[in-house]
Amino acid sequence: MKLLQLTLETSAANLALDEALLDAGESGGPPVLRLWEPHETCVVVGRSSRVAAEVNVEYCNDQGITIRRRASGGAAVVAGPGCLMYSIVMARGSSAAMPSIDQTHHRILDRMVAAILHLVAGVQQAGISDLVTSDNRKFSGNSLRIRRNHLLYHGTLLYDFPLELIPRCLRSPPRQPAYREGRDHAAFVTNLPADSAALHRVIASEWRADDPLSDWPMEATHQLAEEKYARDEWNLRH
């Protein structure tokens, strides 16, 4: 698997790059693990999210926190410095053996757990697509976008994030996993006790991503950022 450790300057460009890598995979490009970390705080909503229901829009506007929409599903997250983002683009497999959505979540998160267990004991999967610490607090949310032959799987890994921003930026999510047990953001979310460099190392090792991707889809990323991810028509729809 190719490794791309690249953070672009804007949140729009970073989200566009994930989609451009998926498009490249569909066109015959290699499987890729991308690791990156936003330069500024932003809220990222799911493909079908209703912004007003999930985001404190007034607070974000007052604080200059951008609201972007990703290509995959799931609910809104807050990201920024102290939050490592990962993206995996890979083939779905032969048509006879294509896993279900739930199986895809489990297969990929099994490997993320295996990687992180080298650093922190007791981490595990919870709900449909979360990772939690041994005391059942969430440090990672993940989502999926499936195309005909390839998929994009990406998520967040909180390790040194200002957690107080989460309840300020986000409303209580309209859909909650049972294991949350009604906890508010402050009681539910936590930072993983690990640093960025160590997380980079164990994740890349688990995915055997040791060959740098030098030819990333720059032009396609720029076009997607300008025509889609930087536009309110995409980000604020619904």
Report CA-CA distances (Å) from 125 to 141, 142, 181: 10, 11, 16
Report CA-CA distances (Å) from 184 to 134, 139, 170, 236: 18, 14, 11, 25
Q: Give residue 4's Cα distance to chain centre.
A: 15
Question: pLDDT tens for residues 132-166?
Answer: 999 999 999 999 999 999 999 999 999 999 999 99
Q: What is the pLDDT of residue 20?
A: 98
Q: What is the pLDDT of residue 94?
A: 54
Q: What is the pLDDT of residue 97?
A: 58
Domains in the chain, start-ordered, CATH in brackets? 2-235 (3.30.930.10)
Q: What is the pLDDT of residue 238?
A: 72
Q: Which residue has the tokens 């007003």?
A: 52
Q: Residue 59 in 3-state DSSP?
A: helix
Q: Is the dihedral of CA 75, 1, 39, 183 positive or negative?
A: positive
Q: What is the pLDDT of residue 98?
A: 63
Report whether 118 contacts 202 (CB < 8 A).
Answer: yes
Segments of the chain scoring below 50 in pLDDT: none
